[in-house]
Amino acid sequence: MDRTAVRPIVERARAEGRTNLTAAEAALVCRAYDLPVVQDRTASDAEAAVAAANSIGYPVALKILSADISHKSDAGGIRLGLANDAEVRKAFAEVQANALAHDAKAKLDGVLVQAMATGGREVIVGAISDPTFGKVVMFGLGGIFTEVLRDVTFALAPVTPERARAMISEIRGYQILAGARGEAPIDFDALAKVVSGVSQLVTDVPEIAELDLNPVFVSPTGAIAVDARIVVGEVAPGRMRPERDAIVKSMQRTMHPRSIAVIGASAEEGKIGYSVVRNLLDGGFAGPIYPVNPRLAEIQGLKAYPSIKDVPEVVDVAVFAIPAALVAGALEQCGEKGVASAILIPSGFAEVGEKKLQDDMIAVAQKYGIRVMGPNIYGYYYTPESICATFCTPYTERGSVALSSQSGGVGMAIVGYSRSHKMGVSAIVGLGNKSDLDEDDLLEFYADDPNTDVIAMHVEDIKDGRAFVDAAKRVSLKKPIVVLKAGRTAQGAKAAASHTGALAGTDQIYDAALREAGVVRARTLEDLLDWSRALSMLPTPRGENVLIVTGAGGSGVLLSDSCTDFGLQLMTVPPDLDAAFKELIPPFGASGNPIDITGGEPPETYRKAIRLALNDDRVHALILGYWHTIITPPMVFAQLVTEVLEEAKAAGKVKPVVASLVGDVEVEEACRYLEERGVPAYPYAAERPVAALASVYQWTRRTGRMPG
């Protein structure tokens, strides 16, 4: 294996202006990376082809060689299963004639004579360059499984053979390789090496834009590729990122600023520059606020300055409320002043096609090392410092969830939900056009922010997928990250020359990358909000044993359904615990799991059953189903749950509890009561509490802290 053999081949093709490597070149590239491809030889005439076939051994396949023909089979350029010299001669003439019929101008370079692969399962291994995540490797069952069932999986390249082995087991049809119908399992090590090798090849040689090994035949004794297809192209320029230390330092100044200036501050109600100053004041920011406005001496009781350069003290953050065209000029002054961050509320940049205006603005920022949030955003909140640097509403629901959104509307949904549903927040950040600051910068800061325990992100596109995955991978081990990727379905598969490219619907790659990053992926805005709240409210479960205690048998069934849907494991209740539950509940109730205490029971039955579950260390999480009755009214239930939880907490028994409350409208008040006391509770719903608990499990498993 000589990996250095690859570069000259790729460079020659590029020098000749070709994007496709020839089959012979592709085979050489593969062999340089120990990727097994069937034995082959090139032949420029029929007799050379016969000689090649004899040296390889019959049966053989013949494939036309021409840089001008990219889909050989469409051009009639392939003949398979040739058994003797005569068949090879005939086939040679046919593929030449077919190729010219297909494209009269094609330059033909003879044929490739290949050994025929000897059966086994057909799979596909490929790689592409994704604009967001860079090199990505794909694996799938080949043929109709790939083309019809799209049973493929992706991972960011490179992958180790171990990770490749795990990828292989992710496809739906895995059992087909592992030995369905009593067949011997395929040689997984050999196949994993191929996947890993492809991923290393495209990583080492970034000019490889697309690569298909298709088909690869895998058998119990090995794997071999029959056809290799390689497309080369430009290497995307790398992105310059500040060092991690520099990121954290400027984020520190942004979130804990010594002072905040408002460029374009206004005394006129209804103006954005007015709202920002108002919100900073009403929000209670303790440091100095410097309105900047050349025409006024005082704004909302604060001394105003004609320019930021006139401010006598240090300024860490400048919030912009001036038209887009004036931003670059003002930013220049911020640079001279030594401002750390510019919060660009104005729109009118790249989002409306004014890309140059944005680029020019960013050039100024880079010159001075100013980090830019936005443009085209609502601003940001950081509650530990009482910062409401936005034109929306002042906000004071302090807590530990840090949220960001690429859309102002979603940002406002976060504000409203968190206020209404008691989700305490540390930060809400608008990212808008992401001209500079983006999710990975925020992650670097939140990682060590003692005020943040949970990170929730609404994302439309990730600018630098690798930086995001790199940061999220580290941070998600310490703090849960929930991501809602919007624009999931609209983007279909891209037009691409390779099978792998055609199968790379952007969302499948996003999904693979987000999994690798260890984030909890929310399906909807509702999930993002619900799950972030649950992750901030609930303690970490110490194991997989989930128990349902319900007053309504019907709710128990629905809650069980949802547990199955969301991958929660209903505990098998040990006999002694089961017997203890039986003692508490009426004879027509049901022990097992769900524990159905039945609807006619007084508060004491709920209390005893929940206490029993909380006190038993074999139970790791609790789902409560409440049924509104006159005997145990909603608020009585809510209060008793709170009491039992307090009691258990005092005894050191801390575990996640969620609740579903069904009944008349009074259950809504009971849910609010429970929410305020750390129990995510939902009226008229059985799926949402379970999904919320499942998000906690998903994260806990990811951290490796789940025993067993």
Please pick, from the candidates 262, 389, 410, 623, the single residue that binds a copy of itself as defined by CB under 8 A: 410
Using the contact rule CB under 8 A, the part of the chain among 104-112, 146-154, 216-224, 695-703 near a copy of itself is: 146-154
β strands within 164-307, DSSP E: 208-219, 222-225, 228-232, 260-263, 289-292, 298-299, 302-303
Strand partners, 144: none
Q: Is 119 in the site for a copy of itself (CB under 8 A)?
A: no
Query: Within 10 Å of residue 72's Cβ, how many Cβ atoms?
Result: 21
Q: Is 416 in the site for a copy of itself (CB under 8 A)?
A: yes
Closest CB to a copy of itself among 470 and 668?
A: 668
Which of the residues 50 through 79 are near a copy of itself (CB under 8 A)? Answer: none
- Between CA 687 and CA 319 the distance in angstroms is 42
Using the contact rule CB under 8 A, the part of the chain among 235-243, 292-300, 481-489, 601-609 near a copy of itself is: 481-489
Please pick, from the candidates 564, 602, 676, 701, the single residue that binds a copy of itself as defined by CB under 8 A: 564
β strands within 391-435, DSSP E: 398-405, 425-430
Which of the residues 568 through 587 are near a copy of itself (CB under 8 A)? Answer: 587
* 214, 138 Cβ separation under 8 angstroms: no
DSSP for 446-512?
HHT-TT-SEEEEEES--S-HHHHHHHHHHHHHHS-EEEEESSTTTS-PPP-SSHHHHH--HHHHHHH
* 318, 344 Cβ separation under 8 angstroms: no
Give me the count of residues in the chain: 708
Q: Is 169 in the site for a copy of itself (CB under 8 A)?
A: no
Between helix 603-615 and helix 575-584 the angle, nearest 10°, is 160
Least Å from the CB of residue 641 to a copy of itself? 17
Q: Is 175 in the site for a copy of itself (CB under 8 A)?
A: yes
Q: Is 633 in the site for a copy of itself (CB under 8 A)?
A: no
Q: Is 379 in the site for a copy of itself (CB under 8 A)?
A: no
Contacts of 427 (CB under 8 A, 6+ apart): 255, 380, 381, 382, 383, 402, 403, 404, 446, 451, 452
Closest CB to a copy of itself among 351 and 448?
A: 351
Please pick, from the candidates 206, 220, 288, 348, the single residue that binds a copy of itself as defined by CB under 8 A: 348
DSSP annotation of 305 reads B
Using the contact rule CB under 8 A, the part of the chain among 148-156, 208-216, 241-249, 442-450 near a copy of itself is: 148-156
Closest CB to a copy of itself among 114 and 555?
A: 555
Closest CB to a copy of itself among 203 and 393?
A: 393
Reported as type and span, the H/E element at residue 445 is helix 439-447
Q: How far is CA 193 from CA 72, 125, 560, in A?
A: 27, 11, 41
Q: Is 409 in the site for a copy of itself (CB under 8 A)?
A: yes
Least Å from the CB of residue 175 to a copy of itself? 4
Handedness of CA 482, 487, 493, 494 (dihedral sign): negative
Query: Within 10 Å of residue 189's Cβ, how many Cβ atoms?
Result: 12
Q: Is 120 in the site for a copy of itself (CB under 8 A)?
A: no
Closest CB to a copy of itself among 264 and 663?
A: 663
Please pick, from the candidates 460, 511, 516, 647, the single residue that binds a copy of itself as defined by CB under 8 A: 460
Which of the residues 508 through 537 are near a copy of itself (CB under 8 A)? Answer: 523-526, 529
Q: Is 433 in the site for a copy of itself (CB under 8 A)?
A: no
Q: Is 667 in the site for a copy of itself (CB under 8 A)?
A: yes
Please pick, from the candidates 333, 406, 532, 591, the single residue that binds a copy of itself as defined by CB under 8 A: 406
Burial (0-12, 13-18, 19+ Cβ within 10 Å), 646: exposed
Least Å from the CB of residue 652 to a copy of itself? 33
- Between CA 54 and CA 48 the distance in angstroms is 10
- Give the strand pairing for 134-141 and 121-130: antiparallel
Least Å from the CB of residue 679 to a copy of itself? 18
Please pick, from the candidates 286, 490, 495, 650, the single residue that binds a copy of itself as defined by CB under 8 A: 490
H helices of 504-651, in order, are: 506-517, 525-537, 553-565, 575-584, 603-615, 634-650
Q: Is 628 in the site for a copy of itself (CB under 8 A)?
A: yes
- How many chain residues touch a copy of itself (CB under 8 A)? 80
Please pick, from the candidates 120, 399, 599, 680, the single residue that binds a copy of itself as defined by CB under 8 A: 599
Using the contact rule CB under 8 A, the part of the chain among 30-38, 286-294, 485-493, 644-652 near a copy of itself is: 485-493
Least Å from the CB of residue 30 to a copy of itself? 24
Strand partners, 320: 263, 344
Which of the residues 668 through 697 are near a copy of itself (CB under 8 A)? Answer: 668, 683-688
Least Å from the CB of residue 424 to a copy of itself? 15
